[in-house]
Structure 1
Amino acid sequence: MTNHRLPEDLTPADARGCADWFTRYTPFIQAETRRQIAYKRRMWPDVPDGAHAKYTNHTYPHILPDSDWRLNLFAPIAAQAEAYLRAENIEIHSEKANLRSSQFACLNVLFPLRLNLDAARAFLAPCLPGVRRVLSVEFEVTGNDDALAFMGDPPGGKRGANRTSIDAVVEWLNDTHDTPQTKPHCTFIEWKYTEEGFGSCGGYASKGNPNPRVCETLDPLKNPVASCYLASGASSRVRRNYWKHTPPTWLTALAGATGCPFRGPLYQLWRQRLLADHFASTGRYSSVNLVAVHWSANASLADVPPALRGAAQPKETVGQLWNRATGGFTELPIEALLRAYDDAPTSQLSEWREYVRERYGV
């Protein structure tokens, strides 16, 4: 067993490299890792360090023992949140014991608002223009079987795993005088905590991909379906319909990229936008849009990788590039949402507000 520690906590008996895991992080991730370690030590001083979900012979000070993962949830909603995830057959991520879990950060912040929709309206107002009433907040939303067929995602997936899943979906109204025929608006929320970027294409790095070099040279304007591993049909997992539903205008806007523009951080945003377009096509909603919520100090989310720089304008972020290419995408720091809530707080959520401040520094 390798017990990884913070650099200042190393002892002479520790193996060399036990702090390398920490020093290679960005400054923001280092700061949040320290925050979670301090929180763990303050709240549960007798709870030992837990093992990494994938590398089980390595322990880390910001991870709980797997049997204690429920401590990772805000205590007043822990039982309800777990019951919701299980009732909805939502995958509880393997990193559930990691105090930096983005899934659990999303639940800890938004699930209490699911139970208090008036407070949700105040908190979410910056990303719901003119919101008058929040109707619902759901998590790890994938849509119905029609959505699965539209996307071509693997048939064995579920909400939160092996499908295009939206971290949180909010249905809301902004009409002053709504009627039973009034269609709600729908906002997809992509939640980022300590991730260094938006999700990249697993097909590019897949062991099943016979020639990743094709991804590096693919021309999105010249029949990309014929070259894309994820659309190859080699198995049920690689019969994706993403290219089929991608408007040519998007591809033209991204044509300056080197190779496939979606093998990096635009991949996750691409899938989510396609799912949003499918939701819009059902006619159920007045509008469907996508918002990315993140911590303002997480600067690496903005970084445009070398392969995309030919498509980006000077000083453009990944999010700005995507919005210019497709429209309908907004980024908001979580601090802006909390400022909106703090302008109209409710005493019912005072414990939650203090928890978010202490746990996540916002």
Structure 2
Amino acid sequence: MRVLNKNGRQYRLPGVLNPFQEEMYLHFIDWKWANITTEPGYYKKLPYDAILPESVKKNFPVIYPDVVDSLQMHHDQFYFKLHQHFNHMASSQAANANLFLPVLLHPRANDVLKLIKPDDFQELATEELDHGFQIEFWGPREGTGLLGDHTKLYGTDSDIAIAYFNNNHELCLWLIEHKLTEKEFTECGGLTSNGKKPQHDCSKSFSEILRNKSYCYYHDVRHFRYWDITGRHQAFFANHDKYTQCPFRGGTNQLWRNQLLALSLEEQAWPYKHVFFSVVRHPLNIYPDNTITDYKNLIADNPKFSVFTSADVIKAAESLGNAKLNKWATWYRELYNL
């Protein structure tokens, strides 16, 4: 923890933040002090101004007020684990709910979503999932999931899944990964695992690992199905031959796993005919961009993967001139510094 003195105020912050993170943290803290409380929260017994104190957590003060009840009901019906730092002003999980639930639960949701996904979105499939969406989606909740990596503590999830009908009235699914202030996607844990053995060689290429999947710790020891699924979809990773080492060592690992979830769901062909995967990020957070560019190069800009920003969602909603959506958009802009 470090103390930053700025504009006559003292801010208790994490020790290391990049410039964008620091700007956002100061903004979040100012917003918290003005709208919630000046009391700090604690992490490992140290006070941090961006964390909410226990005294206010139960009211979900980081969630847009109009959707708090819906979020709680969704959590009860489709249980998902609240992140350790859900009650942090920079919580990406909370920001994800704040960005999508006010749209998805609005009567004009279709009009907004068509503007964000204009190529094939026709209407929300409200009979699927929970009114057409599910937070922390990992497919059929059976065993360890389609990727074989799900437990109560970890596993590959889509931050939100949206079920919809396309222009041919085919049922589709849209998986979305949300990034707020994160500087990178989740990197490969197998690369640095204490359980890694000499035969687990991340310097091997994509093709070499497919020929001998035991090079991958995740496959050999954890029995995750990542490379089995990848082997069935080699063509999707069209430019893999340009990488001399495993292309999923760094932040592309999370993008790969989410894409594999989409491909696995699509393999089943029921109930979803087509499954797409997108990343939505804060428009000023350019730090994950190198990883996104690398991943897009790997898959040769396959249209099954796309990127948009939270500002795109807000602008789409505002363009309708709806009073309720505009009220939410103003709140969101103020909180997330758009």
* Both structures adopt the same fold (TM-score exceeding 0.5): yes
Matching of residue 286 in structure 1 with residue 246 in structure 2: no
Pair 122,10 (structure 1): closer, same or farther in 2 beyond 3 Å:
closer
- Distance in structure 1 (CA, Å) of the matches to 2:48 and 2:110: 34
One-letter code aligned to 1:359: L
- 1:318 Cα deviation from its structure 2 partner: 3.0
Give the unaligned 5+ runs of structure 1.
305-315
Secondary structure of 1:317's aligned partner:
helix
Paired residue for 2:257, among 259, 266, 271? 271
- Distance in structure 1 (CA, Å) of the matches to 2:110 and 2:331: 16
Matching of residue 257 in structure 1 with residue 248 in structure 2: no
Q: CA RMSD in A?
A: 2.8
Query: Any conservation in 1 of the 2:123–2:164 contact (CA below 8 Å)?
Result: yes
For 1:32-71, what aligned pairs fall within 5 Å after superposition?
Answer: 32-45=24-37, 47-52=38-43, 56-69=44-57, 70-71=60-61
- Distance in structure 2 (CA, Å) of the matches to 1:293 and 1:125: 14
- 1:255 Cα deviation from its structure 2 partner: 3.5
- Distance in structure 1 (CA, Å) of the matches to 2:7 and 2:157: 38
- 1:342 Cα deviation from its structure 2 partner: 1.5
For 1:1-362, what aligned pairs fall within 5 Å after superposition?
Answer: 4-8=2-6, 21=15, 24-45=16-37, 47-52=38-43, 56-69=44-57, 70-119=60-109, 121-123=111-113, 125-135=115-125, 136-145=132-141, 148-154=144-150, 156-157=151-152, 161-175=153-167, 182-211=169-198, 214-215=201-202, 217-222=203-208, 223-233=211-221, 238-246=222-230, 247-249=233-235, 253-283=239-269, 284-304=271-291, 317-324=293-300, 327-362=303-338
Query: Any conservation in 2 of the 1:142–1:165 contact (CA below 8 Å)?
Result: yes
- Distance in structure 1 (CA, Å) of the matches to 2:100 and 2:212: 38
Query: Any conservation in 2 of the 1:319–1:329 contact (CA below 8 Å)?
Result: no
- 1:188 Cα deviation from its structure 2 partner: 1.0
Structure 1 segments, 4+ long, off by >6 Å, are 9-12
- 1:273 Cα deviation from its structure 2 partner: 1.0
Over residues 298-349 of structure 1, what are the superposed CA-to-partner deviations in whole Å (9 max), with x where a residue is unaligned? 1111124xxxxxxxxxxx8234324417552111122222222221132233
Pair 355,19 (structure 1): closer, same or farther in 2 beyond 3 Å:
closer
Is the strand fraction higher in 1 or 2? 2
Secondary structure of 2:300's aligned partner:
helix
One-letter code aligned to 1:167: D
Percentage of matched positions with identical amino acids: 21
- 1:287 Cα deviation from its structure 2 partner: 1.8
- Distance in structure 1 (CA, Å) of the matches to 2:199 and 2:25: 33
Query: Any conservation in 2 of the 1:124–1:337 contact (CA below 8 Å)?
Result: no
- 1:356 Cα deviation from its structure 2 partner: 0.4
Secondary structure of 2:61's aligned partner:
helix
Secondary structure of 1:324's aligned partner:
coil
- Distance in structure 2 (CA, Å) of the matches to 1:324 and 1:294: 21
- Distance in structure 2 (CA, Å) of the matches to 1:44 and 1:149: 39
For normalisation by structure 1, the TM-score amounts to 0.80
Query: Any conservation in 2 of the 1:220–1:251 contact (CA below 8 Å)?
Result: no
- Distance in structure 2 (CA, Å) of the matches to 1:81 and 1:261: 37
Pair 39,153 (structure 1): closer, same or farther in 2 beyond 3 Å:
same
Secondary structure of 2:81's aligned partner:
coil
- Distance in structure 1 (CA, Å) of the matches to 2:32 and 2:109: 28
For normalisation by structure 2, the TM-score amounts to 0.86
One-letter code aligned to 1:288: V
- 1:212 Cα deviation from its structure 2 partner: 9.6
One-letter code aligned to 1:111: L
Query: Any conservation in 2 of the 1:169–1:186 contact (CA below 8 Å)?
Result: yes
- Distance in structure 2 (CA, Å) of the matches to 1:274 and 1:120: 27
